[in-house]
Structures are given as C-alpha cells and as structure tokens.
C-alpha cells in the first residue's frame, strides 16, 4: 500500500499551488465582485495542463490521472472555488466525450477543450423538477430527417452561457432512465439560449444559468453514446464529478483552517494565547482531523477510478464526508476568527457562502447517502 503522492503527482500539486497563489488568489475577491471569470484565467488554467488532467496526451490532455486531478482541484479551490468548479465541470465534460464519444467527436472537441480554445464545457442535465431525480427529465429529442430536434428547459447549468460545447440530456424514448440519450450541442446553435445568471449565495464568479432549447436541430453525429444510454452515461460522469466536488470542498476547508490557524497565532503573538487557549486548539485539531480524513477518502476514490475499478460508493463517501467536513470547518473558523469574519467581504464569510453548494451539486448529501446505503446493503462495508 502506497500513501504518498508520486513525484509526478507532487509536481502537479506544486505547480497548481504556485499558479493558484499567483494567478488566482490576489484577484479572487475582484472576480466575486464582478460575478465573472475572465477568459484569460481559464486560458491560464488550460495552459497549465489543468483541463484534461486525466485525458490522454493524444487529445491534448496531461494524462496525469485522477489522483493528480483531485489534488489540482483542491489547490485551485483553496484560492478560488468558483474557478475550481469551472475547471472541474470542464474536465468532466472532456472525460465524458473521451469515454463515450465517437472518434470525430473526440477530434472536434477534446484538443480545443484541453488547449483552452474553449472557455469551458457545460453539463446540462438538471431541469425544473428534475434535479436529484434526473431520470424524470422532460427535454425531448425528436428524430428528424438526418438528426434530432431538441426542445426543453435546463436549469442551474454552470457556465452554460459561456461554454462553447454543452452536453445535453434529452428524452428519445419512454419515461424513466432508459428513455434518455445524450447529445453534444455547440454554442451558437439556433434555438439554444441562456437566461440571466442566477443570483447565488456563493461561488458567484461562476455563472449558473437556465438554458432554453427551442427546436435545436443537431445532426445524428451529435449523439453522444448509444440511444437510451444517456442516464447511464450521466451517472458514470457524476461518480467522477463527485471526486472533484469533494476536492473542491477540501480546498475551501483547508483555506478556512489556515485562516483559523493564522488568527490563533496572531492571538498568541499578542499575548492572548492563554485566553484563546485549549478550546480553540481543540477546534483547530478537529478541523485538521476531519479534513485529513476527507482527503484520504478522496484519494481512495481517485485511486480506484484511476485503476478503472468500481468507485461509485467511495466517491459518494468522499463527497458527503468532505463537503460536510468542509462546511463544519468554515463555521468553526468563523467562530475562531470572531466578529471580523462576519463582515460581508471578509474571506471567511466568502468561504462560508462558497462552501454550502458542495453539499448540493452533483448529488445532494441525501443522494450520496442513498448511493452508499444501497451499496452497503448489497455488499457490506469492508472490501
Ligand atoms: C451552483 C449550482 C451549480 C449547478 N451546476 C449544474 C450543472 O452544471 N449541471 C447540472 O445539470 N446541474 C447543475 N446544478 C444542479 C444540481 O445538481 C441540483 O441542484 C441538485 O442535483 C439538486 O437538485 P434540486 O436542486 O432540484 O433539488 P431536489 O432534487 O428538489 O432536492 C430537494 C431536497 O430533497 C432531497 N431529496 C431529493 N430526492 C431525495 C430522495 N430520493 N431521498 C432523500 N432526499 C431527497 C434533496 O437531498 C434536497 O435536500 C447546479 C446547482 C447549483 C446550486
């Protein structure tokens, strides 16, 4: 058993940490104020090999694996969770195309995503009334001459207005999971339009938009995977995506821990250490234990995925534990930092707002628990 990162993985951690500290951290607050991630930021991320981290070199990826990917997401989220989610969703889109796409689809989209020619890739599954229960989605894809016509409404789509390529799930058959098929829709397709970005509580630099598909015509070649396989494909993608969200939560939690640590050290220097005392140290220790345990869960899920072994339960465990631990860590940091942390533009209050959604997207905590419980009932706990 090997618990250390390899030399190559460590190099990615260090280079991403440098990039995050120099290119992201100084301007995170400005991006949040502007509710915008500039094009150059995503280009810098791509040029650092962070779009397509787990993608073959043949397609322009870094081919660095899933552990390196998780570590990179954590480093980016430590500096700017909104950028981290944009990077993570775009990696997920690239991986879906790599895993299920035709040769032509891979040639058309993967190098452009990896090089940063595209701002991002979007994942359009959720709909009004079909969030956790994605199998009930109602967007329709009707066969028409040499292609399909897509009509329906998508909701909560990360950077759906800025992405050059959008993966859209639509119903080609009857009700339920088996009637769903996946399609690639390009930016500018006639009938595809994005609504105004939602006014969210956190990760505000990342746009989250409704997408409307009004008789969007796509060729047959735009179908991603086989007809009726769309739901299966979404679940495979979300399993991997959960490793990314867990790593994102951890980045936020680790930043909160460092804020708390700096505050306690400042108090100690000011001679108030004894006052801050043992209770504060215990709180800091609990944060450290939980975040470290969460990181081990993330590493295990990533390691399994990298070896192409089943990892669905492990990814759900990593996501539910990391997102809940990170939210507890942020709240504890706010308690330790005191009233200064409650000012609207303080970093601690931004972390509180940015962290909450990690318990919601790519499957809520309840959905993760359902995934875990079903698997435990099937196979027990120990493997
Ligand atoms: C910032 C942001 C970005 C997002 N980006 C994307 C994106 O890029 N692409 C995309 O497709 N979607 C995206 N989403 C949507 C996200 O995945 C959904 O919000 C999420 O799946 C939950 O769905 P819902 O909001 O409809 O909640 P609901 O499904 O209505 O759930 C409401 C509550 O009921 C609980 N619940 C639901 N079903 C069950 C059950 N069976 N058992 C127990 N409890 C249950 C949930 O846990 C939750 O607490 C994004 C959401 C946010 C907030």
Q: How remote is the CA of residue 132 from the centroid of ligand 1, in Å? A: 5
Centroid of ligand 1 to alpha carbon of 209 (angstroms): 14
At residue 133 the predicted structure's pLDDT band, cuts being 50, 70 and 90, is very high
pLDDT of residue 41: 98
Say yes or no: domain 235-379 is CATH 1.20.140.10: yes
Please give the Cα distance from 363 to 373 (Å, whole number).
14
% pLDDT > 70, the chain = 98
Quickly state the pLDDT bin for 1 (edges 50, 70, 90): confident
Residues of the chain with CATH 2.40.110.10: 122-228
- CA–CA separation, 253 and 74 (whole Å): 10
Average pLDDT, the chain: 96
Q: What is the pLDDT of residue 46?
A: 97
Q: Tell me which residue has its CA closest to atom 23 in ligand 1.
A: 131
Which regions of the chain carry the CATH code 1.10.540.10?
Answer: 7-119
Give the helix/strand (H/E) hosting 123.
Answer: strand 121-124
CA distances 210 to 150, 155, 180, 192, 376, Å, are 15, 4, 20, 11, 36
Which pairing describes strands 121-124 and 147-158: parallel, antiparallel, or unpaired? Answer: unpaired
Instruction: Name the helix (H) or strand (E) containing 60.
Output: none
* pTM of the shown model: 0.97
Across 263-276, average pLDDT? 76
For residue 273, what pLDDT band results from cuts at 50, 70 and 90?
low
The tokens describing 332, both together, are 């504890």
Atom 29 of ligand 1: nearest residue by CA position: 132
Per-residue pLDDT tens over the stretch 352-366: 999 999 999 999 999
| Nearest atom of ligand 1 to the alpha carbon of 160 | 8
Closest C-alpha among 340, 331, 242 to residue 286: 331
167 contacts 183 by C-beta, under 8 angstroms: yes
At the top level of CATH, which class does the domain 122-228 belong to?
mainly beta
* Residues within a 6 A CB radius of ligand 1: 89, 123-126, 131-132, 156-158, 200, 208, 357, 360-364, 366-367, 370
Q: What is the pLDDT of residue 34?
A: 97
* 51-65 mean pLDDT: 96
> Which helix H or strand E contains 14, and what residues bound it?
helix 7-19
Atom of ligand 1 nearest to the CA of 363: 21
Distance 344 CA to ligand 1 centre (A): 26
Which of 32, 20, 28, 26 is closest to 202 using CA atoms?
32
The model's confidence at residue 272, banded by pLDDT at 50, 70 and 90, is: low
Band (pLDDT 50/70/90 cuts) for residue 23 is very high
Q: Encode pLDDT of 317-368 as tens digits.
A: 999 999 999 999 999 999 998 888 888 789 999 999 999 999 999 999 999 9
- What's the pLDDT at 383? 64
Asked if the model's pLDDT at residue 275 lies above 80, the reply is no
> Which amino acid residue places its CA nearest to atom 17 of ligand 1?
361
Query: Does residue 362 carry a catalytic annotation?
Result: yes
Mean pLDDT, residues 292-320 taken together: 97
Give me the residues paired with residue 124 across strands. Answer: 168
CATH no., domain 7-119: 1.10.540.10
User: Please, where in the chain does CATH 1.20.140.10 lie?
Assistant: 235-379
């Amino acid at each position: 058993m090997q618990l250390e990162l390899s030399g190559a993985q460590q190099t990615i951690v260090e280079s991403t940490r440098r990039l995050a500290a120099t290119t992201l951290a100084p301007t995170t607050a400005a991006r949040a104020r502007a509710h915008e991630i500039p094009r150059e930021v995503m280009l810098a991320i791509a040029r650092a090999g962070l779009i397509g981290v787990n993608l073959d070199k043949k397609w322009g990826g870094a081919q660095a694996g899933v552990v390196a990917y998780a570590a990179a997401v954590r480093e980016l989220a430590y500096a700017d969770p909104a950028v981290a989610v944009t990077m993570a969703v775009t990696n997920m889109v690239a991986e879906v195309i790599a895993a299920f796409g035709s040769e032509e689809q891979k040639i058309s989209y993967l190098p452009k995503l990896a090089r940063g020619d595209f701002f991002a890739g979007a994942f359009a599954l959720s709909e009004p009334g079909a969030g956790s229960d994605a199998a009930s989605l109602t967007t329709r894809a009707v066969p028409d001459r040499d292609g399909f016509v897509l009509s329906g409404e998508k909701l909560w789509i990360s950077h759906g207005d800025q992405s050059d390529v959008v993966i859209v799930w639509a119903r080609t058959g009857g009700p339920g999971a088996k009637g769903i098929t996946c399609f690639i829709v390009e930016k500018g397709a006639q009938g595809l339009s994005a609504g105004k970005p939602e006014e969210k509580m956190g990760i505000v630099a990342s746009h989250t938009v409704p997408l409307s598909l009004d008789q969007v015509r796509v060729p047959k070649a735009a179908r991603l995977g086989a007809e009726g396989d769309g739901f299966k494909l979404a679940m495979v993608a979300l399993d991997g995506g959960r490793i990314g969200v867990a790593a994102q939560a951890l980045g936020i939690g680790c930043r909160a821990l460092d804020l708390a640590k700096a505050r306690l050290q400042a108090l100690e220097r000011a001679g108030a250490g004894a006052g801050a005392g043992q209770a504060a140290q215990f709180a800091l220790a609990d944060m450290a234990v939980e975040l470290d345990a969460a990181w081990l869960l993330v590493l295990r899920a990533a390691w399994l995925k990298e070896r192409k072994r089943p990892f669905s339960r492990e990814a759900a465990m990593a996501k539910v534990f990391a997102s809940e631990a990170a939210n507890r860590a942020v709240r504890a940091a706010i308690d330790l930092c005191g009233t200064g942390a409650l000012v609207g533009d303080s970093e601690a209050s931004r972390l509180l707002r940015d962290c909450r959604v990690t318990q919601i997207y790519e499957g809520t905590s309840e959905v993760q628990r359902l995934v875990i419980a079903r698997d435990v009932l099937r196979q027990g706990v120990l493997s």
